[in-house]
């Protein structure tokens, strides 16, 4: 599949915000991006609610399965098994599309006192 197979990506803007369309950070970042003229695409799938339907692309089952080999490889690297419920697998498959076309990835969250940040340049915990 290439960009032309996905109508929302057929004519990419210079800046595109890709997310899952969840309430909170996904929609807030999407609205901020749209307000300065960036393209916004929220990935979703049948049975999943996007909180910004106007900018949502519903992935087909075939499209979702495109992520399977990457999920298997990631789980081998993380030394965990991919024994999750079907809905959680679909969320992981959907997440793969959030990074598939990305040049940069930004994650928003809260670090607690147990958080460890690894700096690959140093080779140890930063």
What is the dihedral angle through the alpha carbons of 34, 36, 39, 42, rounded to the nearest 10 degrees?
A: -30
Between 100 and 122, where is the model more confident? 100
Closest CA to 65 of 49, 45, 85: 45
Look over the chain and give the mean of its residue pLDDT values, rounded to a whole number. Answer: 84
Closest CA to 110 of 24, 48, 20, 40: 24
| pLDDT of 65 strictly over 60 | yes
Res 83: pLDDT: 74
User: Whats the size of the chain, residue-wise?
Assistant: 126
Res 4: pLDDT: 52
Q: How far apart are CA 29 and CA 99, in angstroms?
A: 15
Between 108 and 50, where is the model more confident? 50
Res 126: pLDDT: 47
| pLDDT of 59 strictly over 90 | yes
Res 14: pLDDT: 79
Measure CA 23 to chain center.
14
Res 118: pLDDT: 66
């Amino acid at each position: 599949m290439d960009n032309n197979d996905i109508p929302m990506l057929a004519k990419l803007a210079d800046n595109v915000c890709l997310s899952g369309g969840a309430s909170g950070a996904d929609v807030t970042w999407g609205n901020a991006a749209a307000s300065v003229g960036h393209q916004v695409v929220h990935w979703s799938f049948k049975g999943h609610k996007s909180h910004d339907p106007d900018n949502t692309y519903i992935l087909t089952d075939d499209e979702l399965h495109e992520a399977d080999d990457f999920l298997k490889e990631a789980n081998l690297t993380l030394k965990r098994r991919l024994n999750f419920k079907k809905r959680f697998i679909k969320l992981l498959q959907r997440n793969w599309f959030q990074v598939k076309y990305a040049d940069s990835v930004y994650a928003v969250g809260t670090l607690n006192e147990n958080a460890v940040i690894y700096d690959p340049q140093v080779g140890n915990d930063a």
